[in-house]
Structure 1
Amino acid sequence: MKIAYFCPLWGSEAIPFEDFLNRVLEVGYDGVEMSFPLDEKERDQRANLINSYGLKLIAQHWETVDADFVVHSKNFERRLRNLAATNPLFINSQTGKDYYTFEQNNALFILAAEISKETGIPVFHETHRGKWSFAAHVTKGYLDLLPELKIALDISHWCVTAESFLEDQEEAVQAAIRSTAHLHARVGYTEGPQVPDPRVPEWKPALERHFMWWDQVIEKAAKEGEKTFTVTPEFGAPPYMVLHPQTGKPLVNQWEVNAWMMEAFKKRYL
């Protein structure tokens, strides 16, 4: 099974887009994961550039944050349809709200499934704080009722939500792994979704804990006969990244950390 690696646009928005794509190619990523503007001309220009560089695309949705469910649902649909028009491999969606009812979040899943059926673009739903999937045990409740739901697993969020490495939530973790179709490779810890630097010995236990989970995801995909599995190293820009308390500058280089994470995967999963 081939693992395809995707570079997040997050953190590189300030540089010219073609410079970003050139850096993605130089480092050895297979594609990019990103959102797109609602302006059709700008959207299509960026999508065409990605294609011209020979890069694959995962479209990312995160912008729908409206509290009012009716407004939220309309904007959610608009965003997903806009992303589907870029013809990505799939859409990774930060769906719903942690305070929405099951019925409300499920209505968004149904809407996403309808758009997926209409466009032929799969939609996976990311595990993320503030969304339907903000905690392991809550996500398990949804997956028990909706076994067809496919998720993009970013388990770093659950570590900080639970203030643990989920040692006492193995059943919920296994339910998530069974439903995982895409992976965000960021290392969290008990007090935050992103360790300051996964490369240093002080954070090796957290890194190893995440690799224990990621090993199971990769093994499952291989056993199920998947030809390709997608991984996005997604250490984020500030405020995810720890800043120096006096200078306000990042303690590490986000681009370098994500490239290191990809190389760590490549060495582990030859």
Structure 2
Amino acid sequence: MARGDGDWVVRCERGHVHWGRFGAAGLLPVHDGHVLLQHRSRWTHGGGTWALFGGARDSHESAVEAALRETGEECTLDTSLVTPFGVIGVDHGNWSYETVIGSIDSMPTVERASRETRAAAWIPVDEVDRLNLYPPFAKAWTTLRTALVRPVLIVDAANVMGARADGWWKDRAGAAARLRDELAKVAAFPGITPFDVAFPEILFVVEGAARGIGSVDGITVVDAPGSGDDTIVDMARGRLDAPCLVITADRELLRRCEKVGAQVSGPRTLLSLLA
């Protein structure tokens, strides 16, 4: 497991030649309706086009680690300022490319830092299509532009608690706190379209005797003032600028959330991720 052990050409199952023995990854930083793109140097594959900063993954790297490292090697962006919130991949069988999308609180001036980069620029989202794009990025952009806001996961705590027999009926507040703490340990979540893997904002809705347990790092606990269902629907309706997934098995709540445009899934989707 050495730095650079992924730097090699491979032929995928579709017959295409790609760079990256273990696949490749790129970074798409987002701020206030702008994305950071790389103008590729003339000598590179697709030279003169615009695309993501990125490159080959090493054997020991996650997509996020590879995307951040490659971007830091190719431009002067301080990648520690980027907060990844999702990954969208393209799988060619024995080779894949994963785009890591993340937010950043400002748009610092970014300069080239390697021969692969001709220039870097913050491009308004609505103007990306006007650029001469690297063909694979142009194809992916249709999906990527729908994923430029951090996703939201809304958990119907009472319903998820009721899906497992851990004595929740004896101590609702204690059971809710246990579920909250287990959820806080989950690093990534599948199933929030269009992301393959997401690092969402998590809203944990409690009601009745479970109210007052408080938030923890990574989990915002919302005390429903009345009906938990009504609170969840209101929150889902208010977050539809972002991909939003509601976790519940309540059929009426599922129907109401779908009606306002949220994605829905049952408790098993969540419980399968918990330790």
Normalising TM by the smaller chain, what interval? under 0.3
Structure with the higher fraction of residues in helix conformation? 1
Structure with the higher fraction of residues in strand conformation? 2
Structure 1 length-normalised TM: 0.25
Structure 2 length-normalised TM: 0.25
